[in-house]
Chains A and B, each alone.
Chain A
């Protein structure tokens, strides 16, 4: 040991280790995960352990292949968090072998190909998600239909057997139908997906002007709302524990809100009102848990703001103008590619004062 290092041992300052950070993140994920298992599909409780165990196995394999010590990397908890986040983005009914493919991509290609924890330029969970949704589009969009909020438990048991789409996916179908009804039929038959448009939506789909109301009804009366509120609560826990800073979540949420306000002002009335927009899809989970992954996000405060706003804007663009129901994963991956540039341009006060002086 060199003697130049400050002596952190002789000062009784509580030092938070990497595994403590990861434990806090998992703790914040727990309520939302349980709600998702209860309200959406109980299979979440099956695929989550499978994902975590297989992630540990792949991580161990990767470490072995790279000739690294197993213990520090396996005990830091980072692979657990990544696998957990990926699982939450997957439909619970996904076949297990596809889940294993996803975990393989996450651990091997997303993380260790670049040199392991701290060296990966892309969020590993989102890399795995992108690979899965491109490779298995049918099963990846085949979500169990969430029971409406007001239905009692018996009804919801009946709902369990059905498969369907998330409110966001329903909205996309609805939008396409309004633009050209024939196209949706073709899309439906082509993808072979289950009856796409909810009955409640079908009742009110007659006019273009009613789209925002339909959307509001779909989202605000879906069980997903509670799951998303649980992510919000978990996010506040992370903020309180100072695991994440407020910059990225706030920037993502404001980016999304601004885009929807802009869409509402400019276009054909296809825009969601802000509150349902923020409660839809993976926005809250992503804003607090995925975009805040420190390894792949920008470093300085101003950089974090730019990064977050970029993620929010890209999410809405992909979601509204592409054929994918949700754009958060691609938005994060796209902004990840921009992080080195953001870090180079926005270096924080020190870099700015230097460039001012010179």
Chain B
């Protein structure tokens, strides 16, 4: 036993030594296939659709409460709900359930906006600020454009309140997933604006070190950035990384840039690191200049398109409208539309779902049959490519068995669902899918536990309240009794009370002959009244 313990100690020591290294573990060199990069000039903006659909959901998928009514006229940039702004001037025509971008094809409450004409360009709706503030980010609805759509204002606030002073500002331009090129297009076309944006973020955060991370095969984008840096010198580290998928995942990127291994689920801000997607940085800068975040660059690629493009799409534009404006016709064949990239994305059940801040890519792929799933032979290919050094095949068994503690033991929380294991599995087992299911199940269980905890608290509070009230009542009665007991002669008291009562009216004749009836009198109303009071109390709690 002692020997086994020593062995474990050595092994964990070895693991700690290994985790300190900055190379990305595992990962895959995938064919890059970055479609639709602009040859020259600016990124084309799509025309406004007849209707904009703005889901009342935040990044946690919690439902937002609308602050507008159907029929109301709203301005561009006006707040429609906490965390949701109008992406164009127009009239709210409905607040109703519409399909949203979600693998299940579920519907959610959306604000449907009919935009006015003549709004080809986004307009500023705030005064420019000399320095960026979290409030301005809130006002402009700035969200992370890298995929998670986390509220950038919250990120900035938590970076300022972090335990450690902000050491590193990490601008993430590592767009490692194949078939997504929206950030690369942005780097190529708006390099100068990006340098300005980074400068304003550096001023706002007072960071000590600022890193812009890009893969080294994006030569045109790197040239553009270098050129912009020559014209506008900035204390910015340009870090070029090997083009390995998933090098852009936040945790592994932080590990490679700073050498710091964050535990799963921990925010980088707690360690003095602020990590921002490059498009988000640009959006934050535009917010400082007064522009609300109302559009993003989307890569539209795949078969059935005349050519792949990167276009600027106003949030709320239905996917079908985006595809139509990019030249796709549904008649050209049997296709499936995939949102957010081949590996981290999903096939869209409904094309009426609107583009949101997290929609970075729309791919049009032919419908093909999947290879047959064979049994796992534990070959370990998945383990070799896992960037988080998990054992996907072991995790798979526990996830399949709905064993949440077991799944967590094998690192379900650390899994970034990058899909590398699926790509190398010789048995074509849908590993990542089962991990996503397991994680959803875990979130659902956590949510239910939270709800159960809340109702327990409510129940206990009510019990406490009832007890307090009963105790107060008891106390009152005890006091009343004590008062009764202290008076020397209850009969004389009762007589006096009866006399007092008789004064204004005609007195009952034999009031004095019934002294015993007066003794229990304080008790009766005291016990009856609260019982009648209870139900309304319950409703309010």
Contact = CB atoms under 8 A, between A and B. Distances in A.
A10 interface: yes
A357 interface: yes
8 contacts: A13-B30, A15-B425, A17-B371, A17-B374, A299-B380, A299-B393, A345-B4, A354-B409
Interface in B400-454: 408-411, 414, 419, 422-428, 430, 432-433, 436-437
Interface stretch (B81-89, B108-116, B341-349): B341-349
A154 interface: no
A241 to B, nearest CB: 12
Interface in B23-73: 28, 30-31, 33
A6 B422 contact: yes
Interface in A1-39: 1-13, 15-18, 20-21
A15 B422 CA distance: 10
Contacts of A351: 409-411
B18 A7 contact: no
B379 interface: yes
B349 A3 contact: yes
A296 to B, nearest CB: 8
A306 B19 CA distance: 21
Contacts of A11: 30-31, 33, 178-179, 342-343, 423
A356 interface: yes
B42 to A, nearest CB: 29
Contacts of B383: 299-301, 348
A207 interface: no
Interface stretch (A114-122, A265-273, A318-326): A114-122
Interface string B342-365: 111111110000000000000101
A1 B379 CA distance: 25
Interface in B1-32: 4, 7-8, 11-12, 15, 18-19, 28, 30-31
B411 A118 contact: no
Given A15-B423, A17-B426, A348-B389, A7 B379 contact: no
A180 interface: no
Contacts of B175: none
Contact of B379 (A21, A119, A356): A21
B376 interface: yes
A242 to B, nearest CB: 8
Contact of B365 (A10, A116, A117, A347): A10
Nearest to A16: B426
B377 A7 contact: no
A349 B426 contact: no
Contacts of B12: 352, 356
The main secondary structure of chain B at its interface with chain A is: loop
Given A117-B377, A350-B388, A4 B433 contact: yes
Contacts of B384: 242, 245
A242 B376 CA distance: 17
A347 B30 CA distance: 28
B378 A13 contact: no
A299 B394 contact: yes
Nearest to B11: A302
A345 B422 CA distance: 26
A312 B193 CA distance: 63
Given A349-B19, A357-B263, 8 more contacts: A2-B103, A6-B433, A8-B423, A9-B370, A11-B178, A15-B425, A21-B379, A345-B4
B427 to A, nearest CB: 6
A76 B426 CA distance: 10
Contact of B381 (A2, A9, A16, A347): A16
Given A3-B347, A72-B372, A10 B363 contact: yes
A73 B310 CA distance: 45
Interface of B: 4, 7-8, 11-12, 15, 18-19, 28, 30-31, 33, 103, 178-179, 263, 302, 338, 342-349, 363, 365, 368, 370-372, 374-381, 383-384, 388-391, 393-394, 408-411, 414, 419, 422-428, 430, 432-433, 436-437
B426 A347 contact: no
A7 B347 CA distance: 9
Interface string A227-259: 000000000000000100100000000000000
A166 interface: no
A157 B26 CA distance: 53
A78 interface: yes
Nearest to B408: A354
A295 interface: yes
Contacts of B342: 6-7, 10-11
B342 to A, nearest CB: 4
Contacts of B428: 8, 15, 17
Contacts of A6: 342-344, 419, 422-423, 432-433
B24 to A, nearest CB: 14
A132 interface: no
B345 A7 contact: yes
Contacts of A352: 11-12, 15
Interface in A281-322: 294-295, 297, 299-302, 306
A304 to B, nearest CB: 8
Contacts of A350: 388-391, 410-411, 414
Contacts of B376: 118
A346 interface: yes
List 9 tightest A-B contacts by C-beta distance, closest first: A350-B411, A6-B419, A118-B375, A3-B347, A5-B433, A7-B342, A349-B389, A3-B346, A294-B378
Given A2-B433, A18-B426, A347 B394 contact: yes
A343 B15 contact: no
Contacts of B378: 118, 294-295, 297, 299
Nearest to B415: A350
Contacts of A354: 408-409, 411
A206 interface: no
A65 to B, nearest CB: 17
Contacts of B381: 16
A259 to B, nearest CB: 17
B409 A347 contact: yes
Contact of B374 (A12, A18, A242, A345): A18
Contacts of B31: 11-13
A242 B302 CA distance: 33
A110 to B, nearest CB: 15
A2 B123 CA distance: 41
Contact of B263 (A3, A20, A353): A353
Given A4-B346, A349-B389, A350-B390, A15 B18 contact: no
A15 B408 contact: no
Contacts of A353: 15, 19, 263
A20 B375 CA distance: 15
A115 to B, nearest CB: 8
Nearest to A6: B419
Interface centre among A12, A20, A72, A301 (most CB of B within 10 A): A301
A4 B383 CA distance: 21
Contact of A245 (B103, B348, B380, B426): B380
Interface in A194-219: none
A4 B504 CA distance: 84
Interface centre among A72, A242, A349, A352 (most CB of B within 10 A): A349
A1 B427 contact: no
Contacts of A349: 15, 18-19, 389-390
Nearest to B437: A4
A245 B384 CA distance: 10
A16 B424 contact: yes
A15 B19 contact: no
Contacts of B374: 17-18, 72, 76, 117-118
B103 to A, nearest CB: 5
Given A5-B422, A13-B423, A352-B11, A18 B377 contact: yes
A351 B389 CA distance: 10
